[in-house]
Every structure is written in C-alpha cells, then in structure tokens.
Structure 1
C-alpha cells in the first residue's frame, strides 16, 4: 500500500476570494508558517511528499524551494499564480521552478483542481497531471464518471486524488477538517483496500495558527480545526498510516516518472 502526500504550496489568497483584504506579505507568511511545520514533521518522520508549488510563491521564497528539494521531496507545478483572476501559465511555471531548484519538473496540479488540457501540459513537458477529484460536489467538481485510478490521456498520466469506496466521499483537505479522525480513517481504509494507494492533498496555510483570524473570513468549519489542532490530527493520521505498513513516496516515483 502506497501513500502519495501532495501539498499545494501557494500564496494564501483565500481571504481575497471571500472579499477580504490581505496583503501579499501576509499571504506568504501564513503559507510559510504552515509549510515550515510540514517540512519539520516530514523530516522527523522520515517521509517524502510532493509539493505542488506556484511559481509566484517560489520566486518569493527560493530558500524554501531549496529546502524542499534538499530533503528529497518532489517539486511539482501548481501553475504560475493561484489567484482566480490570473491566467494559466504552466510553461512559465515549469521553467521558473526548474531554474530555482535545478531539477526537472514533471508533475502538474491546477489551482482549485481546474480543468487542465492534457495536450498543452504534455507539450510543455509534463508527464503527469493530478488535477482530478473523481467525485461530485455541487459548484466544485462533477467527476463521478472519471476513473478513480491512474489513466492515460495521450502521453500524459492522469492521477486522481483519492475518494472512499464504494461511495466516492472525497478524502481531500476539507474532509480532514470536518470529519472526526476515526471516520476519516474509515474512508481512507476503504480507498486503500480498493485502490492499493492513497493520493491525499492539503495546503500548508491550513496548518497556520493564523487561519482563525476573523479578518481572513475563513468559515468556522475550517477555522475550528486549524493550527495546532489540525497539526495534531494530521500527525495522528500519518502515524496510523505508517502503523498499517503504508509506504510513502513522491508522486513522480509512484507513477514511474523519475528522471
């Protein structure tokens, strides 16, 4: 059984989407706080993960990019900007991430798991796309008919995020906030039995102590379980997966996309 942890590293623009003001330095600081926790935790547990990073964040935190790569994690693209008003630029994102890291970037995840044309990603040099949540959530995703396992579109591997079995309950980041941990583990175990792997994704900013700041406008169902409370819950989840004998690896390694 294999676990691929994915973290969407981005400027914390969540308040902007809810009509709140937040300056760019604060966006970077909130994301960086959570990212430092995650890197420390993974280092302590000796686990590797994939960090889908916007070029905008990377350009302003090059030392963090170097830390990610030096720790043996995978650096993948989360496009250039995370803002809803920004256009997509997977080519520019890949180029900048490679310049900063000195490594070839082969993975892509679109901001908000938006539709990403496979032919364009393949032409840009990507080898896999992990932008599909194979479930149905009104106003977010309508992918009930998409494969839950790895598939091919041209020469591009499509690697969906994990959902429970047989009901496609999503195991995405919101689920860890709102589900009691035993229930989340129950759904995760069903996916492991069905698929033999878990592809889980979270955001570093979720783990920041500042997420509950009222000025950010974060909904209570997320803010109530954030910061240290979410950190402890996440660490217990990882401990449970390790105890089950799960192997943690990067997405590029799991999909056979190593250089």
Structure 2
C-alpha cells in the first residue's frame, strides 16, 4: 500500500475577522481570542500526539514568543507574513521580516509561507529569501474570492518552490477549507476528506486557532462563527480520529516537502537543505 499523508495546518494570527464586518476589536482582544482557541487546540493535539504546521504572523510571534518557541519543539512554525489585518499595508518585504522574526524566536529555519487570506502573491522572491514551499493556493472556484480551477490540485514546482495547494475534492474541486469543515456535517466532510486522501495520497487542510474560542457574541455571519469553541474541538477530534483509522501518516508541511524531494525527481530541483525525511 502506498503511503498517504495528512497535513493539518493552522493560520496562527490575530483575530481580526470582525473588522471585515465593521466591528472594532482591540489589539489585546485579538490576541486573547486566538490564545483561548490555542489552549483548546493544544490539548487536543497533545491527546492525539500528531505534528502540525502553524503558519504564524510575525506580529503574533513578537507578542507571544514563549508560546511559539514551545510549539516549535513539536510542530512546524511557518510564515504567515508580518500582519494579518487588511488594514495594514502589505509590503513584499514583510514576508522576509516575518521569517527573520520567527527564526529568531524559535532558533529553527523557517521554510514555508502562506499568504494571509490566500490572496494573490508574486512568489518570485520567496526562493531567494530561503523559503522552500508556498501554500497560498486554494485551487477551486468561489465567487468573489477564488477563481483558480486552472491551478493544479497536486503539489508542483514553480519558480524554485514547491507549491502545496490546499486540498479540494477530486473531480468537482470542492474546497476542504475551514468553512467547509465548520458547516458540513462531520460525517460528510470526513467522507470527502477520506476520498481525497485515497485519490491523491495527500491531504492539506487548514483552520484557525481563533475558531476554537467562544466567539458567539461577535457580529459575524453564522457560517463564519458557528460552531466554535468546544463544539468545534469535538468536530476536529472526530476528523482526526477518522483519518487515523485510514493508516495515513500525520506530517508537517515541511516534512512532506522533504518526502517529495527524496522520492520524486520532479521536486529534486528544490533546495534539499531544509529537512531530511526518514
């Protein structure tokens, strides 16, 4: 049986989504909500004893260096730019600055990047800055957000980087992102995830720690905020348990790239120095 891999990834960022809907949230509250969700998430990951990838903003790491350092001892820390808020003007150099911050905090080389909100990005400089992979593509069609059906749903190499797309279902390209996980019945979402894993032998899913905090009182659409807190942790527990039953290996994004480089000639042009895969 060919090996199958599951990558659970979490965008570890400021809880700024209410501002997209006109609700002001203080900087302290943005961090507090994310930390509340992280407390629940850390406990679940410890129970299942699986490694994951945290795409982390440099701003969050600066405010919570001890947490990021501790997470890096078990999980991968990758870059999620410097700030997440759409009200901060984005500069390409922010990506390099975030990488430098994360490496200083953790003492570990950062090799992965994901653009906040998966916005379009010129990736041409990422390889020069020492990144090995980018995971900013959701290869699906969502009106008003993504029109990326022309992008590969499989890992590829582009401009010296491994491109790790977020998972979509085979054939129909149904997105398996956080909103699908939140809103579909657990059994249905898990069935689609399992089918995708069987077909592609890899599964890249993404969530946000703030989803696992109690956010009922914020003025957000129901499909964004419910379920949350402990109910959403229970859904994630169900999903992880079901995926474990498939025999798939849970792996960080960085280690999956190392596997691709070791086993597939198409990826051997990418720098091999970031990690060794056993």
Length-normalised TM-score, structure 1: 0.96
Structure 1 residue 25, shift from structure 2 partner: 0.5
Structure 1 residue 85, shift from structure 2 partner: 2.5
Structure 1 residue 190, shift from structure 2 partner: 1.9
Contact 2:7 2:53 in 1 (8 A): yes
Corresponding residue of 1:2: 5
Show CA shifts across 1:193-251 (max 9, x none). Answer: 22101000000000002x111xx212112333111111101101000011111110110
Show CA shifts across 1:39-80 (max 9, x none). Answer: 22111211000000000011001111012012x200000000
Corresponding residue of 2:41: 38
Corresponding residue of 1:212: 216
Once residues 231 and 120 of structure 1 are traced to their aligned partners in structure 2, the CA distance between those partners, rounded to angstroms, is 37
Corresponding residue of 1:134: 139
Length-normalised TM-score, structure 2: 0.89
Q: Number of matched residues?
A: 255
Q: Which residue among 19, 24, 39 is the counterpart of 2:27?
A: 24
Once residues 22 and 6 of structure 1 are traced to their aligned partners in structure 2, the CA distance between those partners, rounded to angstroms, is 25
Q: Aligned to 2:139, what secondary structure does the other structure show? A: coil
The answer to which of 103-112 and 121-130 deviates more is 121-130
Q: Any gaps of 5 or more consecutive residues in structure 2?
A: 259-273
The runs of 4+ residues in structure 1 deviating greater than 6 Å are none
Q: Which residue among 198, 205, 216 is the counterpart of 2:203?
A: 198
Matched, 1:121 2:126: yes
Alignment of 1:1-259 (within 5 A): 1-70=4-73, 72-86=74-88, 87-88=90-91, 89-209=94-214, 211-213=215-217, 216-256=218-258, 257-258=274-275
Question: Over the residues paired in the alignment, what is the CA RMSD in angstroms?
Answer: 1.1
Q: Aligned to 1:44, what secondary structure does the other structure show? A: helix
